[in-house]
Every structure is written in structure tokens, then in C-alpha cells.
Structure 1
Amino acid sequence: MTEDIAELKKKLREQAHANRNAQTNKDELSANICAKFMALPAYTAAKTVMFYIDVRSEVRTRQSLPDALAYGKKIIVPWCNEAGELELFHLENMDELAVGMYKILEPKPELRGLPEKQCKPEDLDLVMVPGVAFDRHGARMGHGKGYYDKLLQHSRPDTPLVALAFECQLFPEIPMAPHDIHMDKIITEMAVYEGKGRK
């Protein structure tokens, strides 16, 4: 049974990657998706918001970060440490980012250890979540490494989890294990879908 689910997830992941890589107008669609995220009432209400920084063919967030920084909110971005865990960084300026390993834009190493730059998952009022594949009920599939699962488990129960995706990353159903976390919303270029969340 578990092997079947693993095989199904692998196929879905491959299909979602192929769909996402083939997606045209990524910049334009991403700007539209990010604008919808920043128009959410939960965004208006939040003091501390986590943005992910796009990698490869994900919905692009980096062009919307300067707007978010100018908006007077505390913007947090995640980065991956050597132990393969996500840590949170208080971003105040785009100059604090540099291209690191795997050509990923991340906080500069010399700034990461500064106490004023660190943040805990419990401090987040709204979390933007990337992913590989989703369904319209908020089920999410990542890269299978569990980076975000650990982070999301430690965020406050009242903090909305909002995923960004292209419509081509949505599938009728994503197999979920009991510990997997559903998103509260999924925003695509077409719609804002209401997910099951963590209820």
C-alpha cells in the first residue's frame, strides 16, 4: 500500500514538474498570483509575513518582494541550513540576499547568525508556501524532503497557510498521509481556492 502511494506521488511530482516547466508567461502570471496574495485580508491583518523565494520554475516571488518590503510589514524568508532544516530570516532589504548553493537566492551567510535577523515559526502571522503539486482542497505535495512540513508544524494554529501555484500544478487528488498538512488557501492565476487547512 505504502509503495503504491510512493509510486503515485513520484508520478504526480514528475507530471507537475513537467507542467510547471512548460508553463509560459511565468513572470506575468506570477505577478498576478503574488498580487492576489497581497490583497488577502489575512495579509492586510498580518504584521509578520513569510514569503518563500522562488527556485527554478516555481511561482516567482522575488519581483514582488520589494513591494512587500515597502509596505511596512515584517517580511521573513526561509533558508536551508546544513542539517537540511529551514531557518527563518528577517529580510529588510533585497541587498541582504545573494545567490548561494544550487543558484538559490538566499540570505547572505554573514547576516544569518545575527540575533535581530532570526525569527521563530510561532512569530509568523501568515505563511506563503511553495509546492510541487496540489489539489483544490488544499492538499500539498512538496519535493519529498519534508522541509516545509517541519516548519508548518511549528507555526501557530491560527496562522493561515497560503500556497502559490500555477493552475497546471493542480490535480484532482493528492495522496496525503495522516501527518501531512492541508493549506488554508491555494492561489493560482485563475482563482483563490479554499483549502481544508489544519482543522
Structure 2
Amino acid sequence: MKKLEIRNNHLALRKSWTQEEWKTRNEQLHERVLNYLTSIAKGTLVLSFQSIKGKREVDTQVIHETIIQAPYEFQLAFPRVEGDGKMSAYLVNDSTSWISSAWGIKEPDPKSAEKVKPSAIEVILVPLLGFDLQGQRVGFGKGFYDRFLAQCSPDCLKIGLSLEGPVEQIDDLHAYDIPLDVVISSDRVYTIH
């Protein structure tokens, strides 16, 4: 399948869910994500994302609130799209203020958060609309994550979060597409080899 078809199909599928279905899928996903992350060392620097309101994305709020506490105690960073169209990462804390982006995504205010180098990030929770069993993903098509992932350490663990299962194959890949290492969905954990 081509990315545009996958994107359109998954957005339509999300719209078709009842609020209860969406909530149940998120609860199942949260449980799998939190179980998976227990194997990762305390203090790990994790880049996560804020959900886009109205797009029925993964609700990451419960994950964020949990992984900064014991037993995880992770450092948490979030992306911000800078003026040059590139994504940067900012380490946040209780005093961080947030700004809404042009896409309606909450981003850390750089005046109240510490910018971190992509190479310092050890785990990235990656948003997606669809994925295949080779670890390729379909996002909203802007390429921010692929450009950012290319700057990260090869050892950085790239975990996609999905409320749906995989498609068989994404046909129109680009040379700059970066595959994920793991995808956690509401029904199971997919380890990419």
C-alpha cells in the first residue's frame, strides 16, 4: 500500500471508533507500553510526543505522568519544530511552560526547557498513523521525525506507538525513511528484526 492510502484509511478508521473504543485501545496500549518500559534503566532520556487534539492519536498523557515516577524515573523530553522547519528536543520539568504550535500540538517553550542534542536521546516514542512489519511508518507526511531520527545515535531505541495493527507493506518508501525498532500497539508488541 502507498503512504497516502494508509494515511487516509487510518484517519477514517479512527473517526469511525466510538469514544469507548478509542479509550479502550488507549488503555490497552498504555499497559503494554508501561510493561515494555520496565526493562529500561532508570534515568533514561526519553523523547515522547504530545497528541494532536481531534486526531484520535495515542493519548500519551498517562504514559508521561507514569514514566517520570518510580520505578521508571525517566528524564522526559518533547519535540519542538523550530523556525527552520527542523525538529529539536527539549528536556522538560515541572516549571516548563508550553506553547501551542501551528498544528495545535503543545511544545515546550525554549525559555523554560533545556535543549538536548539528538545524540543524547536513548529512547524515542514515535507517533504514527500506520506501520508495517519491517518497521516502516506512515506519519502525517512532513518528515520531521525521519530527519530527527537520522541525527540520533544508532543505539537509540525507536518505539512506534499505534492504536492499530500493521499493514502488510508500505510500498513508497524514501531513502531517508528510518525504520523503527519496536512498535507497540493496543493488541501486541511488534519487535522488528
Question: Normalised by the size of structure 2, how large is the TM-score?
Answer: 0.84
1:114-133 equivalent positions in 2, closer than 5 A: 117-133=114-130
- Superposed CA RMSD: 2.3
User: Counterpart amino acid of 1:172?
Assistant: E
- Pairing 1:37–2:42 present: no
Quote the Cα distance in structure 1 between the aligned partners of 2:137 and 2:84.
23
Do the aligned residues in 2 keep the contact of 1:88 with 1:118 (CA within 8 Å)? yes
How many residues matched? 185
| SS in structure 1 at match of 2:103 | helix
| Cross-structure match for 1:58 | 57
Identity of aligned residues (%): 23
| 3-state SS of 2:159 partner | strand
Pair 1:9-2:8 in alignment: no
Q: State how far apart, in whole Å, the 1-side matches of 2:109 and 2:27 are.
A: 25
Distance in 1 of aligned mates of 2:125 and 2:39: 10
Kindly provide the CA deviation profile for residues 102-135 of structure 1, in whole angstroms up to 9, marking residues without a partner as x: 33222135325xxxx1101100111111112111
More helix by proportion, 1 or 2? 1
List alignment gaps of at least 5 residues for structure 1: none
In the TM superposition, what whole-angstrom CA distance separates every residue of 1:134-192 from its partner, at most 9, and x where no partner exists? 11231111222110001101111111100000125x31111223332111111111000
Corresponding residue for residue 92 of structure 2: 91
Q: Specify the code of the residue in structure 2 equivalent to 1:57.
A: R
User: In 2, Cα distance between the equivalents of 1:97 and 1:147?
Assistant: 19
- In structure 2, what is the equivalent of residue 106 of structure 1? 107
Tell me the CA shift for residue 98 of structure 1: 4.4
Which residue in the other structure is 1:171 paired with? 167
TM-score (norm 1): 0.82
**3-state SS in 1 of match to 2:89:** strand
Q: Which amino acid aligns with 1:54?
A: S
Match in the other structure for 1:159: 156
Q: Distance in 2 between matches of 1:100 and 1:157?
A: 29
Query: Which whole-Å CA distance do the structure 2 matches of 1:89 and 1:172 have between them?
Result: 35
What is the aligned partner in structure 1 of residue 22 from structure 2?
26
Name the CA distance, whole Å, in 1 between partners of 2:38 and 2:69. 18
Compared with structure 1, are the counterparts of its residues 87 and 111 closer, same or farther at alpha carbon in structure 2 (3 Å cutoff)?
same
- In the TM superposition, what is the alpha-carbon distance from 1:69 to its structure 2 partner? 2.3
1:49 aligns with 2:50: no
**1:53-86: CA deviation from partner (whole Å, max 9, x where unpaired):** 1113211102321222224221111111222211
Query: What is the Cα deviation at residue 41 of structure 1?
Result: 5.3
- Name the amino acid aligned to 1:171: V
The 1:60–1:103 alpha-carbon spacing in structure 2 relative to 1, beyond 3 Å, is same
Q: Does the residue aligned with 1:174 lie in a helix, a strand or coil?
A: coil
**Which residue in 2 is equivalent to 1:185?**
182
1:73–1:54 Cα change, 3 Å: same
Note if 1:140 corresponds to 2:137. Answer: yes
